[in-house]
Structure formats: structure tokens, C-alpha cells
Amino acid sequence: MAVRPQHMHDGGIVERRLRPIYDWLDNGNNKKALQEAEKVLKKSPSLSAARALKALALFRLGKGPQAHALLDELAAEKLSDDTTLQAMTISYRESQQLDKVCALYEAAVKVDPNSEELHSHLFMSYVRVGDYRSQQRAAMALYKFAPKNPYYFWAVMSIVLQAKTSEDSTKRGILLSLAQRMVDNFITENKMEAEQEARLYIMILELQEKWEDILKFIESPLYAQLVPGSTAQACIPYLKKLGHWKRLNLLCKELLWDNQDRWDYYLPYFDSVFQLMKESDSNSESTADDTAEKCHEFICQLVESMTSGRTLRGPYLARLELWKRLAVDGDPTSLLGSGVALCVQYLRVFANKPCAVPDLRPYMAMLPQKEREERSREFLTCLGFDENSEPDNSDDIQRHISCVAAWRIAAAPLPASECLCLANTLRGHYLRCLSKGLVTATLTEFCATDGYGVLAAHHYFFAAMQQQSSAPVIEALGLLELVLHHSPANFHAKLILVKLYHFLGNALAADSIYQRLEIKHIQLVSLGWLHAARLAPGGACTRALQLLADTKAFHTHHQKDSVEHLTYAYKYGTFEKLVELRAWGARLEQCAWCACVARHRALLALTAGPAAPLHAPCRLPQEATDNRDLNVIVSYEPPEAQDPNLKERTFDQELSYLRLKDALVSSVALCIESADSRPLEERKPQYEELKTCVEAFSKAMEKCREKYAVSEKISISAPFPSRIIAFVTSPVPYRELYSNTLYMVGELAMNHTSEAHALCERVAGLLATVPQCLAEPEGAPDAAWGLRDRLEALSNYLEFIGIVTFLLGVCNELVAPTNTKKSKKKTSQSPDEIRTSELLNKLNEAVQNSITFLEETFEKLPQYDYQSTLEEQFAKLNIDKYQNPVETKLKNGRQDMINDVMNILKKKSKYLKSLIQ
């Protein structure tokens, strides 16, 4: 954010002097800014703006204490110079001391009570801390002083926010009627002048559920003047609230005549029809549509009214919607005929558009399953195609693909061999188009033909799932890479590639495609599940750390930034958005994935990061929010295969996992604190807390083990099963391993030697049993098939090794602090101390053995058995310039991952050896 204030008043010598400081600060060269500020201060030591900018430069250079000393000094001087105050505000904002900004401007308006600007800054300072009462006071003071509309409405909005956050309903009522009265007065005095003011008024009436009043206001000349041309549309929600169904019906019909494609008019229209149907006094004279017949008649009129120009989807989809609504408690066929026929009819008209299948998909579920499956081929053949048709222009290709896709969604799932057969046929279509120059994609636009490849990939995947075999997945990968090669913009292909490479346990091959998706900013949150969450369980620890750090940085940055957006909303008087922005800020702050990222990162850094203090994550969100976009990968499964509870269920799993990880991070942090250099007595509270924390972890592990015992179905569009499942159901006794290790550190820190000794021996004993638990399943013919699960199991153990290694370092500090090591060796040790060292050495060796075991296991990880029939097809069609990259990607991805893990293990091993005494 630029430091320079937008309006510099001075224009004279002071501005000239300050300019270079601003320039350096805005360019991010804080050192130069500091030098420049000092130069200016030499000439005019009392120039407060220069001192404030110096403080900012100091703060940005990491010299917080010096900066704050300077800021405190300035604050004590009770200044009212806006340039200085704004520079100080930035420092306070960047150091998250927003309350100090309030104090700053409170003092300033006392010094200079006649400055509109200072009053307005004071108001904004309250906005940043969310002090609505003070906001109201400041806004009213401002309005009295400068009677401008925005200030008045700032006060009104501040009252509304007090009401919204008030738990006392009486108080809430009083505040809202106050806010309403304030606006009413303004209306009477003819002072309302902006659209957003009108919207705020509606918001106030809405909060009081005064629907009648809202309608009256919307229909008033004032509203028409402030928000021209939107009266009819604005009435809809309130007519619904009031149950004025007849009016609503007539209004929507009128709107629909002019806008036949507006779904937001159809929905209330249907609502009104179905309500009017319930009301018994239906009469044939009524102009409102109060029967299904009249409704159908209206839709037919809309269809017929479309002239030769563009055919709109609206009226056609409206017919499907009518069928769906009638089917809820009746049989629509007598009026509308079969639903299948209606869907097929829709397809016939719109199959040449890529939206045909996405449009139909929600309506497939309304069709009776049996009829739908029996007549599914009608979808395929309605335009004269079958699976073997060979259309030769892009319009027909799109039609063919829409028909095939709709058929597959309508039909019962195919057995594996037929799935494979269809996949091969579709691949054949793609390759044929390729050899005939029908793949017309450009760098930035994809083309209809790509659809064959994507659809084929889905069917290879279905076949693979039934056969439990990786071979069809490899065919899918080869084909999708080819599609992407010719159609580099096709993100559908990219998304499935990411998914399928992960499916085969190759996180780094997935990464090669992920990078081409250019996922950034908010997408790191909504799509984190797709790739970032799968890197560590795929063994790609170093890459995982990078991506987790990026996500964390996004989240931190947002938290610092989000209050500023509220000040914009006041500045521009967009009161509706203000409420929304506030909720959005809170939603992201409470993001479950971001909370998880912070914890994954803290723990993973112990394994794969350079030696550094534990990253302490922010507090666990109280009401964690689910911000995943799980609709990004298109599915071609029939409606029955869609899991309606998927989002909810998987989110619950992620939350449980988050809590387990949080307990682990907190426990590790408490281990560090209970073993630091303070006197033992002072560390006791942390030890007690550690015990509670580990106990909670242990109990949660036990509960989760029961709760998440059922394995999850794997689907191409849904996230992989939550990591909690592999973690809590693992044969490796993680509950015991973690809790005993963590307890051990605590007991050792408290000098409870005998407890510590017992725990130490127990952990060493447990470690010895792990290789057996993690042994490779015997006689698996298709190694690539199980690789993903295997890597996830190994990476969980790898993470434990990282943590136990780190904790052994903590223990080592306890028994032989680095700074006294040499002298200690000379002094004689008590038998207890000797025993502690012996046992820690023993545990250390057990961990080293585990490392050797992991090294051997990773060394022996199965190779991919790469076989593809794609190359044969190339030869047949004389496509020979293209090199299928899948084999190399799989091989290199596997090797790079192994190298990464080996490197980590080597470092751990070296560190452990250095701890042996």
C-alpha cells in the first residue's frame, strides 16, 4: 500500500523535503528511506512528519522497539498534523496496533476540533477496530460539523451494525427503529440522494421484517428516481415474503415476456404458480397462472414466441423445471409427457453447445431411475448418432460428445470390459479427429474434440476402479497429456491429470501439471484440497512445504488487509457490501484449510524444513469454515453415484484431522516450553498443560479410530479420502508413539526420571514393532495401484520420525545443555543421569534404525509397470512426431520424490548421531 497521502496540502517546502522519503518507502527501499528521513531531520529536527516516516522505515526494517519508542514520543505530543498522523497510522496498522490509531485521532480532534479530515480519520479508526458505538458518535459529530449525506448515513450504518451484533432483542429493536427514524426524517426532508442510501433503508426495514413498508418504498417515486428501472425486479422478494402470489405471478410473467432467459424470474414465477395451485379458489377467469396447465401453456407460448434468431435455453429448461416440481408429489406425465422425452428434446435442440450436458445434469436426477436407464440410448441416438459415429465438423462433434455424455449420465454404469471398450472408442475418435485436422484448439481456446479425450479418460478411470488395475489409468494419462499438448488451455484435462497422477502416487508428476493451472491467491484456498493437501502424503515434502508456505502467506496477508476494505466501503457509501465484506473477512479468517495449513507446515517443517523454531500457528478457528470448491472437476457418473453428503462428511473428517494436528503442534510447543531454561517451578504450568493436551490427543485418536473405520469410495471428482483415515486406522500405533514420546519429554523436563525412563523404553520398544506394521503387502501384482496408499502410510511414519528426532534434540538440551556441555562432562554424573543418557541413546538408536528401515523401504519402492497402447494407435494413424511424456514423468517423479525423502532422512540421521553422548 502506498504510503504517500493522496492529498498533500502543503505543496511547499515540507512536501518537497518529504517527497524522497515517500518515494523510497513506496519503492520498498526502507533503508534509503531511513537515511533520507535522518537527513531531513538534521535540517529540521522538529518536523514531525519526517519523524513519523522514520518510525515507519524503522519498523519495516525490523526495528520494532526503536520504531515504537519514536511513535510513543510522537503520540505524547498530541499532534494534529494529518501528514504525520497518516504516516503513524500506517505503522500502527502494519504492527496490528489499530487501537492506538483511535487514541491518536481522539487526541488530534481535541487539538483541532474544526478539521473535517481529522474527524473522518477518527471515524475510520473506529471502523478498523469494529467499535460501532464510537463510530456512531464520531459520524454524528462529523455531520453536525459538516452536514453531508455520507456522514449522516455513516452514523445510521453504525447503528445498524450495533443492532446486528446485539444479542438483546429489545435493544436491537430500539436501535433499528432509531436507524429507521433517522432515515425517515431524511426522506421527509427530501434529503436522500443516493442509491446506496435507499438500499441501506431497505436493509433496515428488512432487519425489522417490515415487508409491506419495503414494498411501499420500492414503489415510491423516490426509489424510481434513485434506482431507475429496477422497481419491478426489486419487488420480487418482498411479494414472496408477503405471500402476494397473484401479483408476483403477473409481475414475473410480464418480466419473462421481455427476458425469456432470466432464471431469476422463472423461479419466483414457479413459486407463485405452485402456491396459487394450493389456494382452492382457482378460477378460469383469473389472469394469473394458478394451474399447472396454465403454467405449461405460458411456457409453450414463450417457446413459440422465440423468433428465428437465437434459440434461448430459458423456456426449454423451464419446462424441465415444471416437470421436476410437479414430480415432487404427483405425476407430471399426463400434462408434460415423459421426463426422459423432455430431456432428450432439450438435448436435441442444444447438443451443439457445450452447456447442454451441464444444463441437463441437475434434471437427470428427477427421472425415474428405471425408465431413465432403459431409455438411456435415446440420449445417444436422438440426433442420429451412436457411439461409433464419426462426425467431421466441430458443430457435429460437439453434438456427438453431448449425446454420448448425456447417455452415460443417464445409463446404468457399464461393466469394466465395456467401459474400457467405450474409452478406447472415444480415444479412437479423438485420434481420428487429430489425424484429420479436426483438433482446432489454440493456445487460449480449447475445442469441441477435447471432449472425446476427457470423456474417454473418465471411462478409463471407471474401468480401472472396477479392475483395481493401474493400466487403464496410464492410458488415461497418456491421452490427456496428448489433449493438453494440442489444447494447452484445457483446464478440464489439467485437473484430471493432477488427480490421476496423484491417484498413482506420483505427487511430483501431478505438480508438473498443477503449475500449468497457475493457481494463486484465493484459489490456494478453494483448490488446496486438489494438490497442496496431497503433496506431503505423496512423499513430496519439500514441494509441500513451499506450497503450504504460499497458502499461509496468502492467509496472513488477507488478515492484515481485510479491515481496510471496510473503510473503502464507508468511503464509497456501499453499505450493503460493508456487511458482506465483514462476513467475508470473518469467513476467511476462520478458514479450516488455512488453519490446517498452518499446522501441517509447523509439523512438516520439523521433518523437511531447515532447523528453525517451531512455527506457532494462529488460534484454532472456533467455527471453522469450509471454503473448498469441490465442483471444479466435472463428473460423468449417473445421479445415484453422486454423494449428496460428500462435502459435509469430508469436511467433518478434515476438521477432526485439524484438531488432531492442532493437539500435536500444541504438544510439541508445550514440550519446548516445559524444557526451556527457566527454573523448574516456573515451567510446571506448561508441563501440566502438556499432560492435558496429550491426554486429549490420545482420547481423540481413540474416538476417531472408531469413527473413521469405514473406508471411503474414491471418485474422480471428489477429494481423496481424508488423511485422518490412514492416520487413525494405521497398524502403526501412532496414539501410543506420539503420546508416550510427548509425555517422556514432559517428565524429563520435570526431573521425573523414573517415569521418563519407563516412557523412553516404551517408545523404543514400540519403534521396533513398526517395520512389521509397514511391511509391503505380499504378492501385489500391480504395484502402482497400491502406491498412493503405501506412500501415505510411509509419510505418516516419516512425519513421526521428524517429530521424535526434534524432541530428542529437546531432551538433549535438558540433559546436556549446549552451553554447559563441556564442563558437565568433567563433573561426575549421578546414576540417574547416566541412566537417562543411556536410555536416550537407546531411543536415538531405535529412531536411527527406523530411518534405515525407511531408507530401505523407499529404495525398494516398486517401479511403474508402464504399458500403453496409445503408441500403437499413433503408428496406425501416422501420428509420430509426438512423444508421450507419461512414462518419463512417472519415472522421474518417483525418483525425485525418493531423492527428496532420502535427503531428509540423511539429515535426520546425521543430526541424531550428533546427539549421542
Partner 1 sequence: MTTIRPFTCEDMLKFNNVNLDPLTETYGLSFYTQYLAHWPEYFQVAESPSGEIMGYIMGKAEGHGENWHGHVTALTVSPDYRRLGLAATLMNILEDVSEKKKAYFVDLFVRVSNKVAINMYKNLGYIVYRTVLEYYSGDPDEDAYDMRKACSRDVNKKSVIPLAHPVRPEEVD
Give me the residues that bind partner 1 (CB under 8 A), please: 195, 228-229, 261-264, 310, 312-314, 317, 321, 353-355, 358-359, 361-362, 443-446, 488-489, 491, 494-495, 517-523, 525-527, 554, 558, 561-562, 564-565, 568-569, 571-572, 574, 576-578, 580-581, 583-584, 587, 627, 629, 631-632
Q: What are phi and psi of 625, to 5 degrees?
A: -105, 145
Q: Which is nearer to partner 1, 401 or 770 (CB)?
A: 401
Min separation Cβ 195 and partner 1, Å: 8
Number of other residues whose CB lies within 10 A of the CB of residue 226 = 18
Of 516 and 842, nearer to partner 1 (C-beta) is: 516
Report the residue number, 568 or 616, with the smaller CB distance to partner 1: 568
CB 292 within 8 A of CB 273: yes
In whole angstroms, how close is the CB of 346 to partner 1 at the nearest point?
11
Residue 437 — left, alpha, or beta (φ > 0 → left; ψ -120 to 50 → alpha)? left
Handedness of CA 776, 778, 784, 785 (dihedral sign): negative
For partner 1, the closer of residues 133 and 557 by Cβ is 557
358 vs 817, which CB is nearer to partner 1?
A: 358
CA distance 560 to 580: 18
Q: How far is the CB of 245 from partner 1 (least distance, A)?
A: 21
Cβ proximity to partner 1: between 81 and 321 the closer is 321
- Contact partners, residue 694, CB within 8 Å, separation at least 6: 663, 667, 738, 739, 742, 743, 746
Torsions phi, psi for 591 (to 5 deg) = -65, 125
The nearer residue to partner 1, 584 or 911, going by C-beta atoms, is 584
* CA distances from residue 761 to 745, 765, 809, 835 in whole angstroms, order as listed: 13, 6, 17, 11
The contacts of residue 203 (CB under 8 Å, 6+ apart) are: 160, 575, 576, 579
Smaller CB separation from partner 1, 257 or 572: 572
State the minimum distance, in angstroms, from the CB of residue 909 to partner 1: 42
Nearer to partner 1, 64 or 358 (CB): 358
Minimum CB separation of residue 561 from partner 1 in Å reads: 5
Question: Nearer Cβ to partner 1, position 366 or 774?
Answer: 366
Integer angstrom CA distances of residue 435 from 476, 795, 880: 19, 44, 11
State how far the Cα of 289 lies from the Cα of 247, in Å rounded to an integer.
Answer: 11
Q: In terms of CB distance, is 479 or 495 closer to partner 1?
A: 495
Instruction: Supply the Cα-derived Rg of the chain in whole angstroms.
Output: 34
Shortest distance, position 357 Cβ to partner 1, whole Å? 9
d(CA 439, CA 432): 10
CB of 256 to partner 1, least distance (A): 12
The values of phi and psi at residue 114, to 5°, are -100, 10
CA distance 599 to 597: 5
* Maximal CA-CA distance, the chain: 108
Which of 446, 720 has the CB closer to partner 1?
446
Is the separation of the CB atoms in 379 and 339 below 8 Å? no
| Cβ atoms < 10 Å from Cβ of 82 | 21
The residue among 521 and 713 lying less far from partner 1, judged by its C-beta, is 521
CB of residue 232 vs partner 1: minimum separation in angstroms?
14
Smallest gap from Cβ 190 to partner 1, in A, equals: 21
Q: Which of 725, 722, 745 lies closest to 734 in space, CA to CA?
A: 725
Smallest gap from Cβ 766 to partner 1, in A, equals 42
Distance CA 599, CA 102 (A): 34
Residue 53: CB minimum distance to partner 1, A: 23
DSSP 620: P
Q: How far is the CB of 526 from partner 1 (least distance, A)?
A: 5
What are the C-alpha distances in Å from 208 to residues 167, 171, 217, 219, 696? 15, 13, 15, 19, 45
Q: How far is the CB of 583 from partner 1 (least distance, A)?
A: 8
Q: How far is the CB of 480 from partner 1 (least distance, A)?
A: 15
For residues 161 and 132, the answer to whether their CB atoms sit within 8 Å is yes
* Residue placing its CB nearer to partner 1 in the complex, 70 or 448: 448
Cβ(684)–Cβ(750) below 8 Å: yes
Q: How far is CA 838 from the centre of its chain?
A: 48
Nearer to partner 1, 263 or 731 (CB): 263
Nearest to 583 by CA among 599, 602, 560, 566: 566
Compute CA 707 distance to the chain's CA centroid, rounded to the nearest angstrom: 25
Residue nearer to partner 1 on the CB measure, 145 or 584 = 584
Q: Which of 91, 14, 96 is nearest to 49 (CA)?
A: 14
SS3 string of 177-206?
HHHHHHHHHHHHCCCCCCHHHHHHHHHHHH
Q: How far is the CB of 246 from partner 1 (least distance, A)?
A: 24
If DSSP codes are grouped into helix, strand and coil, which group holds residue 120?
Answer: helix
Closer residue to partner 1, CB minimum distance, 242 or 489: 489
Question: In sequence order, what are the beta bridge partners of 591?
Answer: 625
- Nearer to partner 1 by C-beta: 618 or 898? 618
CB of 521 to partner 1, least distance (A): 5
CA dihedral 700, 704, 706, 711 (to 10 degrees): -170
405 phi and psi, to 5 degrees? Answer: -65, -45
Place of cell 399426463: 334
Query: How far apart are CB 794 and partner 1 at their closest, in Å?
Result: 31
Cell of 228: 431507475
Q: Are 476 and 456 in contact (CB under 8 A)?
A: yes
Which residues, 6+ apart, have CB-to-CB distance to 720 below 8 Å?
Answer: 502, 503, 534, 714, 788
CB of 397 to partner 1, least distance (A): 14
**Do 353 and 346 contact (CB within 8 A), yes or no?**
no
